[in-house]
Amino acid sequence: MTCVGHSTLLVQAGSVNVLTDPVWGERASPFQWIGPRRLMPPAIDFDALPEIDVVLQSHDHYDHLDAGTVRRLVARFPKATWLCPLGVDKRLRAFGVKSVVARDWWQSVEAPGFTATCTPARHFSGRTIRDRNSTLWCGWTITVDGFRMFFAGDSALHPAFAEIASRLGPFDLIAMPIGAYDPRDFMRSVHMNPEEGLEAYRAASGGSSRTPICVPMHWGTFRLTDEPVDEPPRRFAAAWRAAGLPPDLNWTLAHGETRRV
């Protein structure tokens, strides 16, 4: 697994290469002259990407779905399969994607080489003031060659994490958002802070006898909210230590870092 930035991860499992919420754009915005600008460039040069087989799309916000990136991926990897929640398929097709599968929460995709399931999340959607919540948002589980990952997408804390574990676990790796949380009164309903991210991770672990790897994400690339950019991983590490969890299973990846499961 390699951290590209924000919620973009490159996961290489067996013969299948997976991208999550791919964003190579300069700004999380419909405009190139205004809106949140990258603090760090994408950690993998676009031209250095391996062949991409599957793209997991969680929702349609600009920091997760970038039209320019989609078009570049379609041009370079036309055979890639895009998985998305209901309604986002129309957006992806408008950006040129041909092979796209939309699912509701708890619906699955069975394909040669992988199995994936769309999972509940607590968030919202929309790309203009007129289309708020016109599409669905989600997380994804994906199983490749016996390796099972839960990509939680973008979410506030919610009670379905435990159900995800019981229905779709146990997981080898959980990618959990921990950033963009202040001011808390405003952001609590859409984003988790680091302590809530740990609570969600523990629920998604489902009491498994094998503690899954945790990859905290959704921090350090775009300044979306008020907390210091480097605060989320520090707070998460403190909460992880306080919980007595194995230090080697907190994979807070540095920008561009690659680790092997």
- For the segment 211-229, the average pLDDT, to the nearest whole number, is 97
H or E stretch including 186?
helix 184-187
pLDDT at 147: 96
The DSSP annotation for 71-86 comes to HHHHHH-TTPEEEEET
Beta bridge pairs of residue 18: 11, 54
Q: Which of 168, 90, 94 is nearest to 136 (CA)?
A: 90
Domain annotation covers residue 20: yes
Give the residue numbers spanning the domain of 101.
2-249
- For the segment 174-186, the average pLDDT, to the nearest whole number, is 97
Indicate if the pLDDT at residue 259 is higher than 70. yes
Query: DSSP 3-state helix, strand, coil percentages of the chain (rounded to 5)?
Result: 25, 25, 50
* Token pair recorded at residue 253: 């990846």
**CATH number for position 73:** 3.60.15.10
Domain annotation covers residue 75: yes
Which residue do the tokens 């540095």 mark? 254
Render pLDDT for 71-115 as a digit per residue (tens, 0 to 9).
Answer: 999 999 999 999 999 999 999 999 999 999 999 999 999 999 999
* Number of domains within the chain: 1
pLDDT at 209: 66
Which residue do the tokens 């970038």 mark? 66
pLDDT at 30: 87
Render pLDDT for 6-24 as a digit per residue (tens, 0 to 9).
Answer: 999 999 999 999 999 999 9
